[in-house]
Structure 1
Amino acid sequence: MKIIAFGASTSFNSINKSLAAYTAGLVDGADVEVLDLNDFNVPLFSEDTEKEVGRPEGAQAYFAKLESADAFVISLAEHNGTYTAAYKNLFDWASRINQQMFAHKPVVYLSASPGPGGAQSVLAQATGSAAFFHADVKASVSIPSFYDVFDMQSGKPTDDAIKVQLAAAAATLSA
């Protein structure tokens, strides 16, 4: 099984990228590829830009990664209660290539924030709209107060309850 994992953020020290990588790594025998959204350069989406430039190379490369996967672990960063601008823009470009971008493949959605909200607003948006993009959401987990329950140095949770939640979410991908 090939799992594509990423944090929906362009932060170089993304807590969501760390969370996605850790969780995807819990799937026994999986080939995990962790994406960095910084590797997929695209202009700001508009129909006018699409007419002018067609489908940017970054969007095509991102979509090719999605096509290559058997499953996904996506951890969502939240900016002002919604998707990060970079992720939303890349997502919009990919949906123009094929709105059914997840092709009924299993998805685990995660979200994390340093504060008490755990990026639950963006997690609700992603799970609520998943069917439009043919994502088969198997689990969703929000991690509030991230730095209190996850060690960025080791790339692992320090809280046993969080470990159990993430293991259960990862297990849904191989079920």
Structure 2
Amino acid sequence: MKVIAFGASTSSTSINKALATYTANLIDGAEVQVLDINNYNVPMFSEDLEKEIGQAEGALGFLRDLAQADAFVISFAEHNGHYPAAYKNLFDWATRIDREVFKNKPAVYLATSPGPGGATSVLAAASGSAGYFGGNVKATVSVPSFYDNFDLESGVVTNESIATQLKEAVAKLAA
């Protein structure tokens, strides 16, 4: 199984990318490819610009890479209760090319934040709208207080309860 994982964040030290990478690598025998959304450069979306340039090359590249997956592990960063602007913009361009971005492939949606909320607002928005974009969400997990529950140096979850939730979530991808 080929699993595409990414953090919906542009931060070079993204805790969501770290969480997505860790979680995807829990899948026995999976080939994991971790994407960096910084590699998909797109201008700020507008219908006027779309009429002028057509399909943004960065969005086409994003869709090409997603098409290679058998499953997804995506961790959503939360900015003021919503998607980060860069991810939302890339996603908007991608959906204009192909509304069924995720092609009904199984996915685990995650979210984390440094605080106790665990980015639950953006996780709810992402999982709630997934069906409109070909999302087939098998499980969601919010990880609160990231730095208290994840060791960045070793790249592992230190909270056993959260580790169990993540293992159970990815087990649903193969089911």
* Bucket of the pairwise TM-score, normalised by the shorter protein: over 0.9
Q: What RMSD in Å do the two structures reach over aligned CA positions?
A: 0.6
Instruction: Describe the SS at the equivalent of 1:73.
Output: strand
Q: Deviations over 1:79-102 (max 9, x none)?
A: 000000010000001101110111
Instruction: Describe the SS at the equivalent of 1:28.
Output: coil
Q: Deviations over 1:103-136 (max 9, x none)?
A: 1100100000000110000000001001101111
Work out whether 1:15 is the aligned partner of 2:9.
no
Q: What code does the residue aligned with 1:137 have?
A: V
Aligned to 1:170: 170
Q: How is 1:36-51 mapped onto 2 (pairs within 5 angstroms)?
A: 36-51=36-51
Q: Which runs of 4+ in 1 moved over 3 A?
A: none
Aligned to 2:122: 122
Identity %: 64
Q: What code does the residue aligned with 2:43 have?
A: P
TM-score computed with the length of structure 2 as normaliser: 0.99
Instruction: Count the aligned residue pairs.
Output: 175
Q: How is 1:48-87 mapped onto 2 (pairs within 5 angstroms)?
A: 48-87=48-87
Question: How far apart, CA to CA, are the structure 2 residues paired with 1:31 and 1:54?
Answer: 33
Aligned to 1:106: 106
Give the unaligned 5+ runs of structure 2. Answer: none
Aligned to 1:142: 142
Question: How far apart, CA to CA, are the structure 2 residues paired with 1:136 and 1:41?
Answer: 26
Question: How far apart, CA to CA, are the structure 2 residues paired with 1:3 and 1:51?
Answer: 34
Question: How far apart, CA to CA, are the structure 1 residues paired with 2:151 and 2:115?
Answer: 16
Cα drift, residue 56 of structure 1: 1.5
Instruction: Describe the SS at the equivalent of 1:58.
Output: helix
Cα drift, residue 35 of structure 1: 0.4
TM-score computed with the length of structure 1 as normaliser: 0.99
Between 1:6-15 and 1:50-59, the stretch displaced more is: 50-59
Work out whether 1:156 is the aligned partner of 2:156.
yes
